[in-house]
Structure 1
Amino acid sequence: MRSTGLHHVTAIAGPARRNLDFYTRILGLRLVKKTVNFDDPGTYHFYFGDAAGSPGSILTFFPWEHAAEGRAGVGETQETAFRIPEASIGFWSGRLVALGLSPDLPEKRFGATVLVFKDPDGMRLALVGVPGIEAEPAWGGGEVPQEHAIRGMHSVTLLLKEAGPTAAILTDVFGFEETGREGTRIRYAARGTAVGGIVDIREAGGFLPGRQGRGSVHHIAFRAADDAAQAQMAERLTTQHGLGVTGQRDRNYFRSVYFREPGGVLFEIATDAPGFAVDEAPESLGEALKLPAQYEAHRSEIEAVLPAVA
């Protein structure tokens, strides 16, 4: 079974205005969709990504104004990393320091330079210098010069009690392969996938379990080319791994199924289609508040309770 890597990562944030400012202004991502949490329409759901909102570039947030702080621990996504040109590490290190974000000193992982820092809610992020990606398309609509802009997702790091059971899902269901080990970090990659093609697992037996809250990742999503591929993955999870999988849920911009992987992290399988331009022109992505059909009749009430972000 062949995977095309990560589709998106969804996390929990605090104040919506602060979240929007950080990811668009500070990190230079494009707001590609402004909608609401389908299960809690009094809360925004922001999608940030590249110019087109391509699968593998997307980081999304549920910003709850008064969310309690999460606790880092076992059974969660510890870090979300983005790709930048290798020569841009210096630019980003200087930018983050100048903005008071106190990044860690650059480190090496599997030969690449990595810059680790946190967003205002305490979410752990990283920028990974990747050679030869300067010519890749990049969003240049904000403060970050286009030559230094983020080029999609690099990887996620899972902090787990043990790697084996989760690795079996990555390799057997999603088609990843183990490609290296450094200390407690084990790397799995989707061959031929440049953007969002890496999952790292760090084993940390004996640590406290994580507690979701502000600054925590809610779930990570893997790509399925279409409904048939998604159904095949779901069936394999059930028949070969004994895991419960939800029915398909329509998220307007993709169709999803969810399951809890053996290490405790919530995984999603999301289809590539129909994409973020299904209800907005590509040039105006993220400009208007988009509501799912079931909430459109209540637009005025929903807009009245959502915090102002303009």
Structure 2
Amino acid sequence: MKLEDQLLGLHHVTAMTSDAVKNYHFFTDILGMRLVKKTVNQDDIYTYHTYFADDIGTPGTTMTFFDFPNNPKGKKGTNTISRTSFRVPTDAALEYYEERFEQYKVKHEPITTEFGKKVLRFWDFDEQAYQLISDELNQGMKAGIPWKKGPVPEEFAIYGLGPVEISISYFADFKGIFEGIFGFNTIQQEGNRYLLEVGEGGNGAQIILVDDATSPQAEQGYGEVHHVAFRLADRKSLAVWQEVYTKLGLPNSGYVDRYYFESLYVRIGHILVELATDEPGFMGDEPYETLGESLSLAPFLENRRDYIESVIKPFDSSR
């Protein structure tokens, strides 16, 4: 495969929440991430799809959420994406957030070290698992731009996705696929935890694989992650990967136009993996100043706007 068609790093993580409004306030008011897009699930228009990112929605900075109606609470376990990380610039930023979590009564652990980097683990109101990871010793994929008008000082603020943790019971097979097909390299091991990276490497291009054959099977629902997406340069690269999947006999979605990016989905065991292009991004249909403040719809849904706005519960995201 040509260098320009290889995976570049993390693109986004999509999870499920029990409450889009509480989730919005948690991510903007407490974490200090910017809502760059408020839209609906293109496959289920009764469900919000919210995108939280850096100041301009840079690829590799985005955490997104669905609020599926009547979705049960997920169950923790193995064979799932078990934790999402967010990058902060320094070790001092972790101390800032530790105090902030105390202030806002956010469940968290003390700051620890994993794979040589300082981390701060925490959970939201749905018990969705996260961690902050310090970029102080990081090299590799560039981070984004902190939200300039957010509640967290820019020198401390979240500005990208960090390593995504995946727990797996069929560890050797899964790891072999990520190394042999997706091009990841294993660079460190701590006990049953393995750090893999792709592309330029660094916190924005890593996953943590956990060898876990003893925990119960995780179950999808709110408080759990839906899928992880990795960056590709453009649509041409998507076509290359679709050919790879076809040759390997891996059932896949085929090309999907998500308007803000273009995608290709494949399921590796229990894990849904999306490849998503860097372009066109989130800046094409709303002014920078008011990103995420109104309901944005892909062009093919625009003629149904009146109906969608009548069936989806509105919430105020003006800043």
TM-score scaled to structure 2, two decimals?
A: 0.91
How many pairs are equivalent?
Answer: 308
Query: After the TM superposition, which residues 1-310 of structure 1 pair with which residues of structure 2 at under 5 Å, given as runs?
Result: 1=1, 2-64=6-68, 66-84=70-88, 85-131=90-136, 137-194=145-202, 196-240=204-248, 242-262=249-269, 264-310=270-316
Aligned residues of 1:12 and 1:63 also touching (Cα < 8 A)? yes
| Unpaired runs of at least 5, structure 2 | none
C-alpha separation between the residues in 1 aligned to 2:117 and 2:256? 38
Deviations 1:255-285 (A, max 9, x none): 11111113x1011111111111121233332
Deviations 1:8-51 (A, max 9, x none): 00011011110110111110001111110111112211001011
SS at match of 2:155: helix
SS at match of 2:279: coil
Over the aligned positions, Cα root-mean-square deviation in angstroms equals: 1.9
Report the CA distance shift for 1:233/1:244 in structure 2 as closer, same or farther (over 3 A): same
Aligned residues of 2:171 and 2:212 also touching (Cα < 8 A)? no
C-alpha separation between the residues in 2 aligned to 1:124 and 1:5? 21
> Structure 2: which amino acid aligns with 1:190?
V
> Structure 1: which amino acid aligns with 2:24?
L
C-alpha separation between the residues in 2 aligned to 1:266 and 1:42? 22
Q: CA deviation at 1:166?
A: 2.2
Structure 1 stretches of at least 4 aligned residues deviating more than 4 Å after TM superposition: 132-136
> Structure 1: which amino acid aligns with 2:297?
L
TM-score scaled to structure 1, two decimals?
A: 0.94
- Give the % identical residues: 37
Aligned residues of 1:101 and 1:118 also touching (Cα < 8 A)? yes
Q: CA deviation at 1:138?
A: 1.5
Q: CA deviation at 1:293?
A: 2.5
Report the CA distance shift for 1:106/1:195 in structure 2 as closer, same or farther (over 3 A): closer
> Structure 2: which amino acid aligns with 1:204?
D
Aligned residues of 1:74 and 1:208 also touching (Cα < 8 A)? yes
